[in-house]
Chains A and B, each alone.
Chain A
Amino acid sequence: MTNVRYTKDHEWISVDDDVATVGITDYAQSQLGDIVFVEVPEGGKSVSKGVEAAVVESVKAASEVYAPATGTVTEGNGALGDAPDTVNTDPAGEGWFFKMTLADAAEIDGLMDQAAYDTYLKELDA
C-alpha cells in the first residue's frame, strides 16, 4: 500500500514497500514558476532528513530540495536533466526527483498526511 507524506518545505515522499519516491508538491512548483534546471542525487548517495538532497531552479532563483527522511538514494530521475519542466507539468508523477531506501521506516510517520498538508496550505494562503 502506498503511503504519501508531506514536509513543511513542500516535498512529498511516497512509500511503497521498501522504496520511497521523493518529489516536490504542486504548490511548490507553482510557487517556483517555470523550472529550468534540476539536479538530482545519484544512486548510492546517503541523504539525511532535512538536509539538501537536490536542487531545483526557476528562471528567478535556485531552491534546495530537502530529503524528507534519512536513507540511501537508489536512483535519481535522470529524465529531468533534459526536461526539467516535467516538474511543472507533473510534479506528483513523472516529475519525481529521486528514489531512496529508508533507514527508519517509522521516520515518515512524523510528516503530514494529505489532510494535514491540505490544512497547512490553507493556513499559508490565509
Chain B
Amino acid sequence: MPYTAPAEVPLTTTPLDALHRTLGGKMVTFAGYSMPVQFPLGVLREHLHTRKAAGLFDVSHMGQADLVGDNIAVALEELVPGELLALKPGRIRYTQLLNENGGIVDDLMVARPVNGASDRLHLVVNAARKDKDYALIKSILNGRMILERKDTHALLALQGPKAAGVLATFDSGCTEMPFMSFRPVMLAGADCVVSRCGYTGEDGFEISIPTASAAAFAQELIDHPDVEPIGLGARDSLRLESGLCLYGHDLDEDTSPIEADLTWSIGKRRRAEGGFPGDERILRELNEGPPRQRVGLKPLGRAPAREGTIIETPEGQAVGAVTSGGFGPSVGGPVAMGYVAKTYAASGTCLHLIVRGKAMEAEVVAMPFFPHRYFRGVQ
C-alpha cells in the first residue's frame, strides 16, 4: 500500500479533516497527513464519477510556496530543466527539481504571477518532498531569494468534464481559462487562486483557498449534484491511467527526466544551453538515449501487476520493474508503468510480468492509457 508513512512522522490534518470524516472518508496516513483514501462511493465509482462528471479532491497536503527575489526565474533555472524565462504571466509549467547527478528530487508546478512580476514565482510541490525541496532551494539560492510557505492556504482540486460547469456557478470566468493558466478570483468571499490544471488527465481546476474558508467552500462544491468527494485511491488510479508519474514510485533521485520520459518538459533553449544540475548526463541521454526508460505496460490478462513486479523478456531475462500498477477502471483492465532497458522500450515489445511467480504476458504501449481531456481553449 503506498499510503503509509513511517510511524515517527507526526500526523498532520488538513483544513478539510472534519469534513472528510463527516462525509464518511476512510482515513489513512499519507506523507505524514491524515487523508481520505476513499469515501462511501468506493474507489472504482469515485474514479468513474470523476471521468464522467466532477470529483472534488483535497490536495491541501501538497506544498504551496512563493519564491521571492530579483530575477527569480533566472535563479530557479539553476535547479530545474524547465524553460522559466519564457513562462508568460498567469501561466503554469511542470518541471523537476534536480540533484547534481540529474536525478529528480521532486516534480513540481511553477507559475509566473499574473502581473508579470519578475521577482516572484509560485510553486506547488509534493507533500512528502516539501521539506527536502525547500531545503535544497534555500541551499542553492541562499541570499538571493526568500521562500514564503503558503501554509495559510488549502488546495482543492475539482476535476472532470463537468468541473468547469460547476465552478462557473461560482466564477463565470473560469470556463475561458486555458489549460495550465491561473488567475486570482474571489470565491466564498475569500481571495483565492484558480488554476486550470490537475493530475487526473481530465479538464479541471485547482483552487488555492485560505484555510478558514476551505471547508465551507468544499461543502458548497459537494452540494452540487455533479460533484462527489474523491479519495487518494481514485486519485492514484486516475493519474496512472493518464500516464502521470507519482514521486517516490515512478520518480526518484536516481532517475533523470529523460529516463522518466519527461523530455517534453525540458525547454528547447535549456536543451541547447544546459545550466541545470546534472546537465551533462541529461543532455547526453537526450542525444544518445537513456540506458532505461519509463514505459506503459498493458498486461494481456486480467491480473494487475503491482509496484515492484519484475519485468522479464519472454526468454526470462530481467529487464526492469513496475513502478506503478493496478486496475484501470476506465480502461476496464490492468495497467502499469515501469522502467525497462532501452532495447525493450519500443511500443509493441512483448514482455513478461512476474506476478506471484508466474509470467504474465504484457505489451509495451504508448501512454496515456486513457486519453487526456484538457481544455486547450476554444477550437
Contacts and interface: CB of A to CB of B under 8 A. Distances in A.
Partners in one complex: yes
Interface of A: 33-34, 36-37, 39, 55, 57-62, 81
Contacts of B344: none
A60 B327 CA distance: 8
Interface string B333-369: 0100000000000000000000010000000000000
Contact of B303 (A34, A39, A61): A39
Nearest to A30: B42
Contact of A60 (B45, B233, B334, B356): B233
A79 to B, nearest CB: 13
B240 to A, nearest CB: 10
A37 B327 contact: yes
Residue among B45, B47, B233 with the highest chain A CB neighbour number at 10 A: B233
A37 B44 contact: no
B375 to A, nearest CB: 27
Contacts of B326: 59-60
B1 interface: yes
Contacts of A37: 302-304, 327, 334
Contact of B37 (A34, A39, A60): A60
Contacts of A34: 42-45
B200 to A, nearest CB: 15
**Top 4 closest pairs, chain A to chain B, by CB:** A34-B44, A36-B327, A59-B43, A59-B327
A34 B326 CA distance: 13
A66 B237 CA distance: 27
B303 A60 contact: no
By size class, the interface of chain B is 20 to 34
B73 to A, nearest CB: 40
B242 interface: no
A96 to B, nearest CB: 19
A40 to B, nearest CB: 12
A57 B304 contact: yes
Contacts of B47: 59
B82 to A, nearest CB: 33
B304 A36 contact: yes
Contacts of A36: 44, 304, 327, 329
Nearest to B237: A59
Contacts of A39: 303, 356
B256 interface: no
Contacts of B303: 37, 39, 57
Nearest to A33: B42
Given A58-B43, A60-B1, A61-B1, A33 B327 contact: no
B195 interface: no
B38 interface: yes
Contacts of A62: 304, 306
B302 A81 contact: yes
Contacts of A33: 38, 42-44, 233
A56 B341 CA distance: 31
10 contacts: A36-B329, A37-B303, A55-B356, A57-B303, A57-B304, A57-B327, A59-B44, A59-B327, A60-B1, A60-B37
Contacts of B42: 33-34
Given A34-B45, A58-B327, A61-B306, 19 more contacts: A33-B44, A33-B233, A34-B42, A34-B43, A34-B44, A36-B304, A36-B327, A37-B302, A37-B334, A39-B303, A55-B356, A57-B303, A57-B327, A58-B43, A59-B233, A59-B234, A59-B327, A60-B37, A60-B43
A63 B335 CA distance: 18
Contacts of A55: 356
Interface string B296-308: 0000001110100
A81 B237 CA distance: 21
B326 to A, nearest CB: 6
